[in-house]
Amino acid sequence: MKKFLVLSAMLMFCCATLLFAKDWRSGIDWKEPAVVTPGEKCGNPPSDATILFDGKDLSAWENQKWKIENGEMVIPPKGGTNRTKEKFGSFQLHIEFATPAEVNPKATGQQRGNSGVYLGKYELQILDSYENTTYFDGQCGSIYKQRPPQVNVCRKPGEWQSYDILFTRPDLKIEDGKVKEVVRPAYITVLQNGVMILNHHEIEGTGFYDQPPRYEPHPPMMPIELQDHGNPVRFRNIWIRPIPDDNTKPPRVREPYYHQ
């Protein structure tokens, strides 16, 4: 009986709290978020995306030597790197890739399915890392020579994989052609095949094969670049959504208040 009375009192207290709770408002007049229609299936571009490759043409890309086969963009022999004509600062990027299905058993480590997505100067590695070990900060999903992915979620060679990338550009103070100060480093978050592999990772600068990473001067807006490392890696369904730099709050137009 005592237990019943205690439970009843607690229930009444909760109901009264909800009934008399007031609706707190910040006093900031936020702009209404734009309506964006999501893609029909996961990975499809939303309505406000810039399409970089949809299987039809290479019009968004500088290097026209790359081939289109069955709606896929393929690196031909000695095709060279390719970069977007448009330049970007911070962005959300979706890209799908497949390393070659035919695996040369003599090719190991960095020789197997090597390419890369350059976010301006910063390489997110593409490699066949399915049962193919290399140095960990050079495997698929790494920021090259800086940070391995948190997990290896690679599919088999020849199978399609995806990167969903959130990239925040660095803020560099440049004087006399040199980086005087890194006001804010670049940050990157990556999902590979829907699985988080890098979470708000701080990029240390451009990665080099033979030198430690460092920030080099570059403009705020840079193209997206796809690396030709001598392997016929394929790409499809590439789209991007620029992220506005200004993420500051609008001024508070009145003191916080309780909405009636």
Q: Is 87 helix (H, G, I), strand (E, B) or coil?
A: coil
Q: What is the CA radius of gyration of the chain?
A: 24
Distance between CA 190 and CA 110 in Å, rounded? 21
- Smallest distance, Mg ion to C-beta of residue 49, A: 25
- Smallest distance, Mg ion to C-beta of residue 99, A: 11
- Residue placing its CB nearer to Mg ion in the complex, 49 or 75: 75
- Smallest distance, Mg ion to C-beta of residue 207, A: 10
HSE-up (13 A, CA, CB side) for residue 172: 24
- Residue placing its CB nearer to Mg ion in the complex, 82 or 114: 114
Interacting residues with Mg ion (CB under 5 A): 114, 116, 227, 229
- Residue placing its CB nearer to Mg ion in the complex, 170 or 207: 207
For residue 28, give Cα distances in angstroms to 31, 34, 246, 251.
9, 18, 16, 6
- Residue placing its CB nearer to Mg ion in the complex, 229 or 241: 229
Q: Do the beta carbons of residue 197 and residue 153 sit within 8 Å?
A: yes
Handedness of CA 191, 193, 195, 197 (dihedral sign): negative
Complete edge-to-edge strand list for the sheet that includes strand 122-126 = 82-83, 224-226, 115-119, 122-126
- Residue placing its CB nearer to Mg ion in the complex, 55 or 230: 230
Helix (H) or strand (E) holding 122: strand 122-126
- Smallest distance, Mg ion to C-beta of residue 143, A: 11
- Smallest distance, Mg ion to C-beta of residue 144, A: 6
- Smallest distance, Mg ion to C-beta of residue 227, A: 5
- Residue placing its CB nearer to Mg ion in the complex, 49 or 103: 103
- Residue placing its CB nearer to Mg ion in the complex, 112 or 169: 112
Largest Cα span, the chain = 84
User: Which residue number is nearest to Mg ion in terms of Cβ?
Assistant: 116
For residue 15, give Cα distances in angstroms to 4, 7, 26.
17, 12, 25
Distance between CA 149 and CA 140 in Å, rounded? 8
What is the 8-class DSSP label of residue 110? G
- Smallest distance, Mg ion to C-beta of residue 67, A: 20
Q: Beta strand pairing status for 224-226 and 195-202? A: unpaired
